[in-house]
Structure 1
């Protein structure tokens, strides 16, 4: 199980990078403003959660990769090579999105719930999480022992 978790973590980093490409595209098209990882890091650092802070860009990138690796490790440990189908990956990505954007992010008052968010961001983030899950499943099929 440890090898499967390690493979999942590596797959999770790769999946986070592909998801980040979707987020960049969403920002460039004007569908969303700042990336949610930056909002999360900004809220967790001392001071106003609405004001930029030194080092937040690097911390946001590291936090996003770390979260993606942890989620990938969890998926890898539970699923291994056996249940890493595209639908399982997409469903896992959407489950992360719903848990985060309807759960702990609004609960900590970092971002609004999906129904109250600015137009565009929920669609970009849902698509990004589907891409994360699809990439995670495919990479894990290739990496898992």
Structure 2
């Protein structure tokens, strides 16, 4: 069970890196004026100020990866070490988007609920969370204990159960 939680945390952090790339693309396309982790950190640190706060970038980044790892841990625990289809990961990403952007961000005053926010920004955030969830499922599948046999799609045999025969001496003529 603990391995599933740790695998979920690692997978969540890796998926957050991929999600961050989607946010960067949305930022460069002009769809996101300010990245959510920074804005949430500023709001929490300063009591809803719109001015930059010293340390908000690093606090926002750390909090974002911690949140991604925490959400990944939950899916790792729920998966119980079983293989996850990518669509389950994508759906989980949408759940995380909904909770974060309809619940958490509006609750701390960082952003309005998704329904009253910019459509372009929300499109980037939804796409990012779909990518995050899919990346998380892929990472969890790669981190599972049971490995697949190369090229077969079948579980590999446990090498600890099967002994390799000892080498036999070669007899000369």
Corresponding position of 1:95: 95
- Deviation of 1:48 after TM superposition, in Å, equals 4.4
Corresponding position of 1:5: 5
Q: Identify which of structures 1 and 2 has the higher relative contact order when contacts are C-alpha pairs closer than 8 Å and 6+ apart.
A: 1
TM-score by length of 2: 0.80
Unaligned runs of 5+ in 1: none
Select the structure of larger CA radius of gyration. Answer: 2
- Deviation of 1:81 after TM superposition, in Å, equals 3.4
1:49-64 paired onto structure 2 within 5 Å: 49-64=49-64
- Deviation of 1:109 after TM superposition, in Å, equals 1.8
Aligned length: 145
Corresponding position of 2:45: 45
CA contact (8 A) 1:37 1:60 kept: yes
- Deviation of 1:82 after TM superposition, in Å, equals 2.0
Corresponding position of 1:133: 133
- Deviation of 1:94 after TM superposition, in Å, equals 0.2
TM-score by length of 1: 0.95
Q: 2:82 aligned with 1:73, yes or no?
A: no
Q: Tell me, what secondary structure is at the counterpart of 1:120?
A: helix
CA contact (8 A) 2:9 2:69 kept: yes
Moved over 3 A (4+): none
Determine the C-alpha separation between the residues in 2 that align with 1:115 and 1:34. 18
- Deviation of 1:114 after TM superposition, in Å, equals 1.0
Corresponding position of 1:31: 31
Corresponding position of 2:116: 116
CA contact (8 A) 1:80 1:144 kept: no
CA contact (8 A) 1:39 1:49 kept: no
Report the structure, 1 or 2, having the larger helix content: 1
Unaligned runs of 5+ in 2: 146-173
